Amino acid sequence: MDRRSLLLGAGAATLAGLAGTRMARADALADAKKRGTLIIGMEAAYVPYESFQNGKIVGYDCDVATALCDKIGVKPQFVDTAWAGIIPALYAGKFDCIISAMTITTARAQKVAFSMPYADASNVVLARADDSSITSAADLAGKPIGVQLGSAAATVTQAYDATLKTDGKPGFSDIKQYDHYPEAYQDLANKRTDGVVNSISSLMVVMKAAPGQFKIVEGLSTVKAYFGMAFRQDDTALRDLANTTLAGMKADGSLAKLQDKWFGGTMVTPNTIPAVLP
């Protein structure tokens, strides 16, 4: 649902001053080794990346973070943090890094150092599997579509609606905005809408839970989006080790196994940050 691309406004003023107010700090990697733990910031409310189950934070991000900790030789410590203040909290020293389904964007790349991508964050359309009239996003012209209120998917959907109209096609007949995605999926299943826009990794989970009921349709955007780990810009040693860890996990298939565990399928991600970002 990557609402996370949008919910940093509350911390904008703080972020604007980060470059001029960073205090000298010890290297995060050295700190983690000395402490015996890597402290990881995340907002534990984004299934299947991270969420609370029986009082414990679990998810894809947690498993990837644990692999990084194994590489360092330390234990992970997860800190649940409100998303709007997560980057300021990183620079305040509340944790060593952020591993929390953070979309790599041009704006964020000016504030944090990102690892290579480790999951696909691109927004696509979920349609009913038996709806043969929809094979690409353009086929939804003149039809109702659903998104979560305030999400990055909503922004992408509105931009594509404008593109359809510029191309001389009807836009969406309705962009229904929901407080929660499960309501949107239910309306799609009940034919109240003809598509729902969300990140491809989130929709893989929906398809896993309802085999044969839905299909994924692409074409909303030509710019691919990815999730990356985020570090303070001067913590290059920890960022570089994260890249080494992720590259190794991609090469030996362990990252794909974690993706299959949590999403019911695998994703192809590059080993470098793309030149063109959302």
Domain membership of residue 278 (yes or no) is no
Rg (the chain; Cα; Å): 19
The helix (run of H) or strand (run of E) holding residue 170 is none
CATH code of the domain in which 105 resides: 3.40.190.10
Please give the pLDDT value at position 5: 56
- What is the mean predicted confidence (pLDDT) over 243-250? 99
Please give the pLDDT value at position 21: 38
Specify whether 108 is located in the same domain as 179. no
Specify whether 111 is located in the same domain as 201. no
Specify whether 111 is located in the same domain as 228. yes
Residue that has been written with the tokens 């909503």 in this structure = 154
Specify whether 60 is located in the same domain as 156. no
Specify whether 146 is located in the same domain as 29. no
Torsion angle defined by CA atoms of residues 240, 273, 114 and 26, in that order, rounded to the nearest 10 degrees:
30
Specify whether 149 is located in the same domain as 53. no
Please give the pLDDT value at position 7: 52
Specify whether 116 is located in the same domain as 234. yes
Domain membership of residue 7 (yes or no) is yes
What's the one-letter identity of residue 190?
A: N
Specify whether 11 is located in the same domain as 148. no
Is residue 18's pLDDT more than 80? no
Structural domain for 67, as ranges? 3-120+224-263
Please give the pLDDT value at position 45: 86
Residue that wins the pLDDT comparison between 180 and 163: 163
* Residue 15 banded pLDDT, cuts 50, 70, 90: very low
Asked if residue 229 lies in contact with residue 103, where contact means CB atoms within 8 angstroms, the answer is no
Q: How many domains does the chain have?
A: 2
Specify whether 157 is located in the same domain as 39. no
Specify whether 139 is located in the same domain as 106. no
Please give the pLDDT value at position 155: 86
Domain membership of residue 272 (yes or no) is no
Please give the pLDDT value at position 4: 54
Domain membership of residue 276 (yes or no) is no
Residue pLDDT, tens place only, 50-108: 999 999 999 999 999 999 999 999 999 999 999 889 999 999 999 999 999 998 989 89
Least confident range of 152-156, 188-192, 261-265? 152-156
Domain membership of residue 277 (yes or no) is no
Asked if residue 228 lies in contact with residue 114, where contact means CB atoms within 8 angstroms, the answer is yes
User: In a 3-state reduction of DSSP, which class is residue 145?
Assistant: strand
Residue pLDDT, tens place only, 201-239: 989 999 989 999 999 999 998 889 999 999 999 999 999
- What is the mean predicted confidence (pLDDT) over 8-20? 45
Q: How far apart are CA 152 and CA 183, in angstroms?
A: 17
Q: Could you tell me the pTM of the whole model?
A: 0.81
Domain membership of residue 174 (yes or no) is yes
Please give the pLDDT value at position 222: 85
Asked if residue 276 lies in contact with residue 223, where contact means CB atoms within 8 angstroms, the answer is yes
- What is the mean predicted confidence (pLDDT) over 37-55? 95
Percentage above 70 pLDDT, the chain: 91
Specify whether 105 is located in the same domain as 228. yes
Kindly report the average pLDDT of the chain as a whole number.
91
